[in-house]
Amino acid sequence: MDPMDALMTATQFPAILPSLTGLGLVALGGAAGAVARYHMAAAIERRLGTAMPWGTLVVNLSAALLAGGLLALFNLGRLPVPAGWLLLIAGLLGSYSTVSSFSIQTLVLARQHGYPLRALLYVLLSVTGCLVLVTGGYLLGVWCCG
């Protein structure tokens, strides 16, 4: 089987019934990811300063690298699905950085049935939409509470 076919399968969110075990795995991974994000960003900012959001950039780039590596391990059968997926992808990387999910979904769109333009559209809509909406949210907050 082509590894990318396995990638398409692995990126479908595990279809398991919500259970205490599943929720616990996501929560445990999420707690670890949040702490890791805080410490990584703080360490980078102490070293490089805050003139640019270097900490966030390093977290996002490292999350993309980790997401790719974990996908390979899932596809090769080296990590268990769904437990490993819930702990490491949904939990750990989900709280460490959402760019990991964004990166995985973009890769799947680009490779799945040859949709590179759909992937590009997804990137453009995501980045532009988020920038527009964060601006709108800020303006709304100032309007309501300022």
Binding site as annotated, residues for Na(+)? 94, 97
Alpha helix positions (H), the chain: 3-10, 20-48, 54-75, 83-84, 94-96, 99-111, 116-145
Neighbours of 6 (CB within 10 A): 16
Q: How far apart are CA 33 and CA 40, in angstroms?
A: 10
Question: Which residues are known binding-site members?
Answer: 94, 97
